[in-house]
Structure 1
Amino acid sequence: MTEPRHPIVEMPLRVRYHECDGQGIVFNAHYLAYVDMCAFEAEKALFGSHDEFLAHRTDVVVAEANLKFRAPARYDDELVVSQYLTHLGTTSLIFDFELRRGSTLIAAANVRYVFIDPATLRPAAPPDAVRKIYADLLGD
Structure 2
Amino acid sequence: MPLRVRFHECDPQGIVFNAHYLAYFDMASFEFFREVFGSYDNLRARGVDTVVAESNLRYRAPSHYDEELVVAVTLDHLGTTSLVLGFTVLRGEEVLTTGMNRYVFVDAETLAKTAPPDDVREKLAARMPE
TM-score, L = length of structure 2: 0.97
1:31-70 equivalences under 5 Å are 31-70=21-60
- 1:80 equivalent in structure 2: 70
Report Cα offsets for 1:20-74 as digits up to 9, x if no partner.
0000000011000000000011111111112111111000000000000000000
Structure 2 unaligned segments of length 5 or more: list them.
none
SS at match of 2:124: helix
State the distance in 1 between where 2:91 and 2:129 align.
29
Give aligned-pair identity as a percent.
55
SS at match of 2:77: strand
Report Cα offsets for 1:72-98 as digits up to 9, x if no partner.
000001000000001100000011100
Task: Confirm or deny that 1:14 pairs with 2:7.
Answer: no
C-alpha spacing 1:78/1:63, structure 2 compared with 1 (3 Å): same
Structure 1 unaligned segments of length 5 or more: list them.
1-10
Pairwise CA distance, 1:18: 0.5
- 1:91 equivalent in structure 2: 81
Task: Confirm or deny that 1:111 pairs with 2:106.
Answer: no
State the distance in 2 between where 1:19 and 1:47 align.
30
SS at match of 2:70: strand
C-alpha spacing 1:47/1:107, structure 2 compared with 1 (3 Å): same
State the distance in 1 between where 2:73 and 2:81 align.
19
State the distance in 2 between where 1:122 and 1:54 align.
14
* More deviation, 71-80/48-57: 48-57
State the distance in 2 between where 1:136 and 1:41 align.
16
The residue identity in structure 1 corresponding to 2:74 is Y
Counterpart contact for 2:78–2:84, Cα < 8 Å? yes
C-alpha spacing 1:91/1:28, structure 2 compared with 1 (3 Å): same
Task: Confirm or deny that 1:121 pairs with 2:117.
Answer: no
Alignment partner for residue 13 of structure 2, among 15, 23, 27?
23
Cα-Cα RMSD = 1.0
TM-score, L = length of structure 1: 0.90
State the distance in 2 between where 1:73 and 1:135 align.
33
